[in-house]
Amino acid sequence: MIGVFDSGLGGLTVVKELLKLLPQYRLIYFGDTARTPYGTKSAETVTHYAIEITNFLLKKGAKIIVVACHTVSSTAMPALKEIFPKVPFFEVVTPSMKKALKLTKNKKIGLIGTRTTVESGIYERLFKEVDPEIKLYSQPAPLLVPLIEEGWLKKPETRRIVKKYLIPLKMRGIDTLILGCTHYPLIKKVIQEKAGKRRKLVDPSEEVALEVKTFIETHPEFIKELASNEDPEIYVSDITPNFEKIAQLFLGRKITLKKVNLG
């Protein structure tokens, strides 16, 4: 079983890509809807939540874990790998960084993400290691997650806010923009429109799904552990009728959410 988690429902964009690329594998998702957003919390708190959720997914039978959250990927990975050394983890930062590196021609890359992700400085560190000539321009975009969780995907207010966040990055002449939050693919069209047609967008959900696919193809021992054709199981820590509606919007299919208390 492939375990996937996020602070809320945004990680379902990753589930959608995984179902597209690997429809034959069983999938379990946990969205921490009771404690979302993570992007305004400290790295310590986010790490504590991530450990709790990983324990839950492993107990449910997950054999590999996909961290479908930029905020967790940029703060909690060292702790997760240390506590669960045998578990293959996939996170969204490294594949997004690699893709941006492939796409950029002028070596000016933009990043939008939650405050915690941007302030973690993880992208600066990674780019410095692989290509010190890369200039990274980062912009925290804290208003986007609540707008997306509210289903305001195409509203004029959302468009205006996206435009405002992108102005400083466009002024720097970026040719590539990393969507540094798994919620953002839901408003990819608006972001592309405001960024301008010529700028390339890096979608973390596509990149991490491709990495998982390659891993499974090259690790046949995992195939029998993961295979099945059942519907994905979607767990959340809080449930409201609106969450169900939004989850269906994210996944593009009818789903039933199950509530679970981790504490």
Which residues are catalytic, by number?
69, 181
- The reply on whether position 181 binds ligand DGL by CB under 6 A is yes
H or E segment at 235?
strand 233-236
- The reply on whether position 7 binds ligand DGL by CB under 6 A is yes
Of 47, 85, 86, nearest to 69 by C-alpha is: 47
Query: What's the count of helices (H) and strands (E) in the chain, helices before strands?
Result: 13, 10
**Contact present, 79 and 16 (Cβ < 8 Å):** no
Q: 117 in helix, strand or coil?
A: helix
- The reply on whether position 47 binds ligand DGL by CB under 6 A is no
Residue 109 or residue 145: which is nearer to ligand DGL going by CB?
A: 145
Q: What share of the chain is helix, strand, coil (3-state, %, to 5)?
A: 50, 15, 35
Of 246, 184, 210, nearest to 17 by C-alpha is: 210
- The reply on whether position 183 binds ligand DGL by CB under 6 A is yes
- The reply on whether position 251 binds ligand DGL by CB under 6 A is no
- The reply on whether position 203 binds ligand DGL by CB under 6 A is no
- The reply on whether position 8 binds ligand DGL by CB under 6 A is yes
CB of 69 to ligand DGL, least distance (A): 4
Angle between helices 204-218 and 93-103 (to 10 degrees): 110
Task: Tell me how far apart the 2 most distant CA atoms of the chain are, in Å.
Answer: 50
In the bound complex, which residue of the shown chain has the CB atom lying closest to ligand DGL? 39
- The reply on whether position 114 binds ligand DGL by CB under 6 A is yes
The DSSP call for residue 230 is: P
- The reply on whether position 38 binds ligand DGL by CB under 6 A is yes
- The reply on whether position 117 binds ligand DGL by CB under 6 A is yes
Of the residues 2, 56, 65, 70, which one makes contact with ligand DGL according to CB under 6 A: 70
- Which residue's structure tokens are 């893709």? 99
Of the residues 145, 178, 209, 236, which one makes contact with ligand DGL according to CB under 6 A: 145
CB of 223 to ligand DGL, least distance (A): 28
Q: Read out DSSP for 56-106?
A: HHHHTT-SEEEE--HHHHTTTHHHHHHHSTTS-EEESHHHHHHHHHHH-SS
Q: 259 in helix, strand or coil?
A: strand
Residue 114 or residue 226: which is nearer to ligand DGL going by CB?
A: 114
- The reply on whether position 36 binds ligand DGL by CB under 6 A is yes
Binding piece for ligand DGL, criterion CB under 6 A, among 49-57, 64-72, 224-232, 253-261: 64-72
Of the residues 3, 39, 110, 232, which one makes contact with ligand DGL according to CB under 6 A: 39
Query: Taking CB under 6 A as the criterion, which residues in 80-109 touch ligand DGL?
Result: none
- The reply on whether position 120 binds ligand DGL by CB under 6 A is no
Residues engaged in binding ligand DGL (CB under 6 A): 6-8, 10-11, 36-39, 69-71, 114, 117, 145, 181-183
